[in-house]
Structure 1
Amino acid sequence: MTIDLHGYRFYDDGASEPLGRVPTARLGELLTQAQTALRGRAHGIALYRDARDFLEARPLGEDRFAFHSQRLTRRSLLARLLRRGGGLDFSVASRAQAVAVFVAYVGLPRAAFERKAADLAAPPH
């Protein structure tokens, strides 16, 4: 079964562009476009399950990508501010690993994705 999530591009200037449904087969192409755009209007790409659960990737040059993922809660602002580790922030060392992170996000429940992301994260350099 193939599950496609909706996606968007987010630009360094604060703009965003909806991508509609994003098939997993298109993820490599979108990541390559983001890498190429580093020399122009830089952007990252993101997928989201709903308005409160998203995964964003931004190219860091070479083949490295930085990821940010968050699952926003309905709790009070104070409870959210006090929450430790309010999201996932990590990087991967190749485009293939970046695609694998997105595929895991698409195919796994949130808690399982967070465990898998820890396995895929590249050591800092």
Structure 2
Amino acid sequence: MASELRGYRIYDDGAVEELGPVPTARLGELLTQAQAAIPRRAYGIGLYRDRRDFLEAHPRGQDEFAFRSDRLHRDSLLSRLSGRDAGLAFEVHGVEQAVAVFVCYAGLPRDAFERKAEDFPKPRR
């Protein structure tokens, strides 16, 4: 089921910038750029299957990425803010693991991705 998903940048100030289709070969570059933007206008990278199923990665310093993913009930902005279903939140260490999470998301059906996410390596504290 591997597919090219659509991507976006989501800025900490709430702005969203569409990136269009994002090949998996470009994910490392996008995540590295997001890390470099932290001192200026910080943002995360998101991929989505459709308007209700997305995965976002936000850099936390130079070594970790915080992921969040939701499968939404409805297509409205209000549902994105309050009506969440099947949400995930986790962190991984480094760009390589962050790319691996996005590749997993692109290559698996949503339910299988949610099960797999429970096994992702956790960052060391």
- TM-score calculated relative to the size of structure 1: 0.87
1:69 aligns with 2:73: no
Count, aligned residues: 119
Residues of 1 paired with 2:60 and 2:24: CA distance? 21
Q: Cα–Cα, structure 1 residues 110 and 2, in superposed 2: closer, same or farther, change >3 Å?
A: closer
Runs of 4+ residues deviating >6 angstroms: none
Q: CA deviation at 1:71?
A: 0.3
Aligned residue in 2 for 1:24? 24
Q: CA deviation at 1:116?
A: 1.3
- Aligned residues: CA RMSD: 2.1
Residues of 2 paired with 1:123 and 1:32: CA distance? 18
1:81-109 deviations in whole A, cap 9, x for unaligned? 6x8x7400000011111000000000000
Where does structure 1 lack aligned partners over 5 or more consecutive residues? none
* Percent identity for Structure 1 against Structure 2: 65
Q: Cα–Cα, structure 1 residues 69 and 13, in superposed 2: closer, same or farther, change >3 Å?
A: same
Q: CA deviation at 1:123?
A: 4.9
Residues of 2 paired with 1:124 and 1:89: CA distance? 16
1:1-125 matches, cutoff 5 A? 3-74=3-74, 86-123=86-123, 125=125
Q: Whose Rg is larger?
A: 1
Greater fraction of residues in strand: 2
Q: CA deviation at 1:62?
A: 2.2
Residues of 1 paired with 2:62 and 2:19: CA distance? 25
Where does structure 2 lack aligned partners over 5 or more consecutive residues? none
Q: Is the 8 A contact 1:52 1:72 kept in 2?
A: yes
Residues of 1 paired with 2:17 and 2:5: CA distance? 15
Residues of 2 paired with 1:14 and 1:51: CA distance? 17
